[in-house]
Amino acid sequence: MSDFPGAATPQSFSTLRFNNRYARLPEHFFSRMAPQSRLATRLADVSPDCARLLGLTELLEDGSDSPAREQLRQVMAGEQVLPGMDALAQKYTGHQFGQYNPQLGDGRGLLLGEMIVTRPGTDVPQEATFDLHLKGAGRTPYSRFGDGQAVVRSSVREYLASEYMAALGIPTSRALALAVNGERVQREVIEPGATLMRVAESHLRFGHFEWLAHSGRYDDLKVLIDHALREHFPECLAQARADTPSSDDMPLEDAVRIAATLGMFKTVIARTARLIAAWQSYGFVHAVMNTDNMSLLGMTFDYGPYAFLDGYEANLIPNHTDQAGRYGFAQQPGIGLWNLERLGVAFSPLIDVEALSEALGQYEGELQREYARLMRLRLGLPDTDDEDMTLVQQWRDLLTEGRVDHTHAYRLLSHWDVAQPAPAALVTLLAGTQGLHVDADEARATSWLTRYQARIAAADLSDDDERQRRLGMLGCNPLYVPRTHLLLEVIAQVEQGNDGSLSAFRKRLSMPFFRPEEGSVEAALTLGTAQGVDAELADDWTRPPALDAAPICMSCSS
């Protein structure tokens, strides 16, 4: 989602323009259908950042019952579709927990339409197209035994996590708004229903290609590949056109497709590797990395029982149905590669297997490079040093063994002026004395901090550069995280009809690097220098789980 940054030209929700490219694919690629209407729907929250991305600033005007908001509410309630929308459920398949499942597809979400967004360009306005996908829109031919509903619990979780990921700069689908309805939905208990307006430049998943390859529809596979190249990877197509000579062996169109698909595969590999590097760096566990939840554009997609690490658990498995731990935190880099191999298999009717394997060879290096880059940023390491990754590894060991709160540790480190001795609060936190599981090891913490201090001192920064270094750290080490236990508190409020805490948490998660009171990382640094980090960590929205709280394991049912 990163090649279209910044605010779009304002447009009215009632007169959106659509270019429904997916709906022009062969009819058997999807099922056209209208959303089901939902009882008593209220608009619980709108994401201002996502609204600005789409130019829908009228949704942000004061008054929760503005005409634009009312119209959005109606669309999310299934009461109306806008002119130009062409709602459909997409067919795809995929590998779930390692097994191929041919019976997938949008079982409760509909692609309502692909909306056109313009942004003022330097010369001419630029155009982009975003899918509006309504999750919880009703049963479809791909619902199997499902009811086509989404519940408040999982919708709040997806809503907040996607807007937070975007704020961190990690590629993700977005969420424009969350609506809560009066449906009573049977899960492990009866839960209130909701719909989520998901926004993404594409909803193409690895599983779209697996469907066509596994069912032997190679002509359709070419059609879908051509669509993906034209609409989402035009640079790969242009490169292939420039590089491919005509020959007598094969029509030029086929030769270009082969070269372009390989180029696209390499791009997907690189983006997926960088995405998973970011997850590993920021302690995100997706928890259901099935190939139908893998985005062709390399964004975080389909949030389920995910978790952000609180205390540093090297292999957190937040999903209680994943008993084998296939999708635990530490497994993600390997699973990313396995999933890319499945995508490679789907391209193999067209492309030489050796070329596909060779392309996969770049994955590991790309992931490691990106991970190192991000960890250097998070630790504020100027330049590069051969020993940096050892320092990073020791830091992570310290956090893991001391069960140290991940977020607070980075935040305290970011506030430390290394010309001074390490603040007592930082030593105490890293020593693990606040955890219940281990004995404090202050010597180990001090020893790491001394090495860190020496590493920064060796860079010989001016006072101003040192200040910039810390500002850089504060600007990439969030104060706020969608902690599982805080999400549960917000969900309980929303289920009771109170949306205030949802908006309050969303506001913090979409500017996660400083408190709203400070309003900037500069002000956060000033506050930290004057009053220590306790001031910002006193904010209740940054509260870690209680030390004696049992880990929360979530159900996959959403």
Residue 497 DSSP SS3:
coil
Between 193 and 544, whose beta carbon lies closer to ligand AMP? Answer: 193
Judge whether 74 and 58 are in contact, CB under 8 Å.
no
Residue 78, binding choice from ligand AMP, Mg ion, none, Cβ under 5 to 8 Å by partner class: none
CB-nearer residue toward ligand AMP: 113 or 136:
136
Q: Which two tokens stand for residue 425?
A: 């609060």
- Count Cβ atoms within 10 A of the Cβ of residue 553 and give its class: 0-12 exposed, 13-18 middle, 19 or more buried: middle
Does residue 536 interact with ligand AMP by CB under 6 A?
no
The site map against ligand AMP for 285-304 (x = CB under 6 A) is: ---x----x--------x-x
Interaction of residue 78 with ligand AMP, rule CB under 6 A: no
Helix (H, G, I), strand (E, B) or coil at 354: helix
Q: Which is nearer to ligand AMP, 130 or 211 (CB)?
A: 211
**3 state SS of 192:** strand
* Of 298, 62, 86, residue with least CA distance to 201: 298
Q: Tell me the closest approach of the beta carbon of residue 386 to ligand AMP, in angstroms.
A: 42
- Residue 548 CB neighbours (<10 A): 6
Q: Using CB positions, name the residue nearest to Mg ion.
A: 302
| C-alpha pair distances (Å), 337 with each of 34, 344, 387 | 37, 10, 27
* CB closer to Mg ion, 280 vs 293: 293
E strand or H helix that includes residue 410 = helix 406-415
Which residues are bridge partners to 114 per DSSP?
131
Residue 68 contacts residue 13 (beta carbons within 8 Å):
yes
Residue type, 207: G
State yes or no: residue 210 binds ligand AMP (CB under 6 A): no
Q: Which is nearer to ligand AMP, 288 or 481 (CB)?
A: 288
- Positions touching Mg ion (CB under 5 A) are 293, 302
* The one catalytic residue among 292, 322, 405, 499: 292
- Please give the Cα distance from 318 to 150 (Å, whole number): 20
The answer to whether 243 is a known catalytic residue is no
Q: Among ligand AMP, Mg ion, none, what does residue 108 contact (CB within 5–8 Å per kind)?
A: ligand AMP
Binding mask of the shown chain, residues 102 to 131, with x at each position contacting ligand AMP by CB under 6 A: --xxxxx-----------------------
Tell me which stretch binds ligand AMP (CB under 6 A): 147-155, 276-284, 332-340, 398-406. 147-155
Phi/psi at 111 (nearest 5 deg)?
Answer: -75, 110
Q: How far apart are CA 33 and CA 473, in angstroms?
A: 48
Q: Does the footprint of ligand AMP cover residue 305 (CB under 6 A)?
A: no
Q: Is 173 in the site for ligand AMP (CB under 6 A)?
A: no
From the list 101-109, 161-169, 346-354, 355-363, the region that binds ligand AMP by CB under 6 A is 101-109
Residue numbers annotated as active site: 292
Q: Which residues bind ligand AMP (CB under 6 A)?
A: 104-108, 142-143, 146-149, 288, 293, 302, 304, 558
